[in-house]
Amino acid sequence: MDKADISGLPLRLEGDDVPMVSFKKVTKSYGNLVVLDSLDLDVAEGEMVTIIGPSGSGKTTVLRMLMTLETINSGVIYVDGEPLTHMERGGRLVPADNRHLRKIRSKIGMCFQHFNLFPHMTALENCMEGPVHVLGLSKSQAKERSEELLALVGMADKRNQHPSRLSGGQQQRVAIARALAMRPKVMLFDEVTSALDPEVIGEVTNVIRQLVGEHNLTMLMVTHQMGFAKDISDRVCFFFGGHIEEQGTPEELFGNPQKKRTQQFLSAVKEAV
């Protein structure tokens, strides 16, 4: 990583209005292929931001970098004011070590396109795994917390089933409960309905809708469900070619897109439906 790229970026974000998530000049490339080009993106606490765009535009990479599943090439990502990808050493930012990553990562939870539930554990055990083995909660505490969350996502009656016995929609709801059991401040939803049959998409989107109402969670979502994005987002970002081509409230972006590429993308999506 080139040190010059992060000079001038603060050791931490301070002030009254510190965003919950902040990307500063973040660049990601694989060899010669630039996936994200000097991305700046702030997400306020409690905000629901949806990322849309054609495939290959870098939208999933944004979430994966925030979950530390991908490293970044330059720039800094801040979570809750603290640097995630870096840490302070002698008044400077240096790449984060594993200990620092684990500390900051605890504020983030993620749901995946293919659910990724642990197949050798029941729904309840999936939810208890993190609280017991990462947070160090007692089994009874973890069970209580997990059962509450499984009830929230409407999966209480299936808590003793293994993932192989659950439909895709049911698995995704358990995965949401599993992520919430870690009490994250930021939730990431990476195309969580893309692998689902059309008739069960609603049960998952309804759960996410509920979270917007009930929890003061910061959420970042990548989706192809334009209607859903329009309904629940505070802000929608249209990604194209590794940068944010256009962003705004759902009304602005879907109702009156300014950029040509946004218009093209939205009309192409509309035709597909």
Partner 1 sequence: MSYLEFLSQYGDRIASGTLITIALTALAALLAMAIALAAGLMRMARNVAVRGVATVYIEIFRGTSLLVQLYWIFFVLPLFGITLEKFTAGFVAVGMNLGAYGAELVRGAVQSVPRGQWEAALALNMSPAKRMRRVILPQAVLIMLPSWGNLLIELLKGTALVALISVTDLMFQVKQINGTTFMSAEAFGTALVIYYVLARFMITPFMRWLERFMMRKMGRA
Residues 199-238, one symbol each (x = binds partner 1 by CB under 8 A, - = not), give ----------------------------------------
Q: Please count the other Cβ atoms lying within 10 Å of the Cβ belonging to residue 162.
A: 16
Closest to 182 in 3D by CA, of 222, 226, 221, 145: 145
Radius of gyration, CA atoms only, the chain: 19
Nearer to partner 1, 157 or 231 (CB): 157
Site for partner 1 in 75-104 (CB under 8 A): 102
Q: Which stretch binds partner 1 (CB under 8 A): 38-46, 109-117, 224-232, 248-256?
A: 109-117
Nearer to partner 1, 196 or 226 (CB): 196
Closest to 179 in 3D by CA, of 202, 160, 152, 158: 152
When asked if residue 67 is in the footprint of partner 1 (CB under 8 A), the reply is: yes
Q: Please count the other Cβ atoms lying within 10 Å of the Cβ belonging to residue 206.
A: 14
CB of 179 to partner 1, least distance (A): 7
CB of 43 to partner 1, least distance (A): 18
CA dihedral 25, 114, 96, 17 (to 10 degrees): 50
Nearer to partner 1, 117 or 253 (CB): 117
DSSP 112-151: -TT----TTS-HHHHHHHHHHHTS---HHHHHHHHHHHHH
Please select the residue that binds partner 1; options are 90, 164, 198, 272, rule is CB under 8 A: 164
Pairing, β 74-79 against β 82-83: antiparallel
When asked if residue 257 is in the footprint of partner 1 (CB under 8 A), the reply is: no
In the complex, the residues that contact partner 1 under the rule CB under 8 A are 67-69, 102, 105-106, 108-110, 112, 114, 116-120, 122, 129-130, 133-134, 161-165, 175, 178-179, 182
